[in-house]
Structure 1
């Protein structure tokens, strides 16, 4: 059913006895999928997508839409026949999931229109894998409006690492550079407007705690006092696609700490089963 490639990486296989929709979790701003590899099994296939330009610094000239388009191509390498999937991610991973789901929905609609035209003319066209996002899981993904202005000054130009620079740089420093570039790209991202296309049903998980008030990273809490982490108006404008709101232990940056792994694993599993109920 699946092709095995490096990215996305297969974290857990699903049970052989039941065919359940796979979950693809997209990287956070730091670019790695490491946190998802800490999760226990969720009784269905679990994949992690890392930033394909992680080693180069994480910058994409086309920003968030270009990243999403490339990751959809990666899905096609794993599932060359296409199919139904669940998407999600921590922090920026939720934003990328939203962009990917929108592009996937537009592609599916265009393919359907082409089929109708081909049927009328008798012509046929090569088929690319067609996906359908049955649901999304946002793990403490805050609405990006005003985010860039709250994280302090950002560089005017991206940094591109040469092969030698990348080899010498520690992973932690690459992650920090990826994070800076992620904020720069989100600053210019236009959140998708779905119009007549329904947004896949989504479960939003929010961290229970605030990051330390003295931390340079407490910008992630600027919507913490808002029930839907700032998604309220967007959610209302798009058919209340956020179907459930669940709390997870820890603050934004500690959700995947060892002491909280059981909690977040259980809730990712529960969210997937809510969006794609198992047939017992």
Structure 2
């Protein structure tokens, strides 16, 4: 059974004054583990994990089904008495790493006219724009067939691989929301982009997440009729290592800057 509200990653009482809460959606692996590794960002941070992670249960409705469930979790979270709201319509930043960024975009569309919550901006953490004609493969996902010292993969590693496979299938069939038809405001996004490509296992086997790596906006500038990514913040590392121990402090700094930029867009408006 899915939880009714988002989990707390960094508590509201530790947030700096006048900072908007940030709600982060799980990556393709289904967990929010990487977000718990972030340095203190001095803002309230919430997370949503894949409730089907342990069961490997299907999502027949794909990204749209996921986004509807998660949007309801956001509504319930902002309605709770301990949520840091500054107005009757709670203002939040929404985002996620890779697949989580795609989910946050779909969720923002579902919440576009919601009376309880306003998505002020989107944080895309190395989220490339998916192209349905491009087959998403897992050839370069750096999870070995065995664990440390030749031991079999742990249960959570197997579950993460299964979740990644399901996420790739959902991306293939995803119809991105068309904001030009709704007449609603598309929230501005800041892209935190990994500088490097994932090391190839063999020549010519670039990871799907790197198909648009040479484009500073990771393909989002080609989304016709949609001015989504307003600023790009580069961080060291490649797609799969930006939350590792060696990289997470730099990634935290990039995310902190991105959130400040999104808040500045609100002030400018």
Given the two structures, how large is their TM-score scaled by the length of structure 2?
0.81
Consecutive aligned runs of 4 or more in structure 1 exceeding 4 Å deviation: none
Whether the 8 Å CA contact 1:58–1:181 is kept in 2: the answer is no
Q: Distance in 2 between matches of 1:183 and 1:40?
A: 29
Q: Distance in 2 between matches of 1:272 and 1:101?
A: 16
Q: Give the Å deviation of 1:7.
A: 5.3
Q: Which of 137, 162, 179 matches 1:194?
A: 179
Whether the 8 Å CA contact 1:37–1:48 is kept in 2: the answer is no
Give the structure 1 partner of residue 95 of structure 2.
88
Give the structure 2 partner of residue 11 of structure 1.
9
Whether the 8 Å CA contact 2:78–2:117 is kept in 1: the answer is no
Q: Distance in 2 between matches of 1:189 and 1:24?
A: 22
Q: Give the Å deviation of 1:145.
A: 0.5
Distance change >3 Å, CA 232–CA 16, structure 1 → 2 = closer
Q: Distance in 2 between matches of 1:276 and 1:188?
A: 33
Give the structure 1 partner of residue 162 of structure 2.
177
Unmatched 5+ stretches in structure 2: 81-88, 140-153
Unmatched 5+ stretches in structure 1: 112-129, 154-168
Give the structure 1 partner of residue 33 of structure 2.
34
Higher helix fraction (1 or 2): 1
Q: Distance in 1 between matches of 2:16 and 2:184?
A: 34
Distance change >3 Å, CA 24–CA 225, structure 1 → 2 = same
Whether the 8 Å CA contact 2:235–2:250 is kept in 1: the answer is yes
Give the structure 2 partner of residue 59 of structure 1.
58
Give the structure 1 partner of residue 196 of structure 2.
209
- The Cα offsets for residues 113-150 of structure 1, whole Å up to 9 and x where unpaired, read as xxxxxxxxxxxxxxxxx211000110110111047524
Is 1:138 matched up with 2:145? no
SS at match of 1:85: strand
Larger gyration radius, structure 1 or structure 2? 1
Give the structure 1 partner of residue 225 of structure 2.
237
Q: Give the Å deviation of 1:213.
A: 1.7
- The Cα offsets for residues 68-123 of structure 1, whole Å up to 9 and x where unpaired, read as 11011111222216511000100001100100001100x43xx6xxxxxxxxxxxx
Distance change >3 Å, CA 210–CA 276, structure 1 → 2 = same
Superposed CA RMSD in Å reads 2.4
Q: Which of 195, 207, 210 matches 1:221?
A: 210
SS at match of 1:245: strand
Distance change >3 Å, CA 173–CA 141, structure 1 → 2 = same
Q: Give the Å deviation of 1:241.
A: 2.7
Matched length: 237
Bigger shift: residues 210-219 or 64-73: 210-219
Q: Distance in 2 between matches of 1:230 and 1:16?
A: 33
Give the structure 2 partner of residue 48 of structure 1.
47
SS at match of 1:55: coil
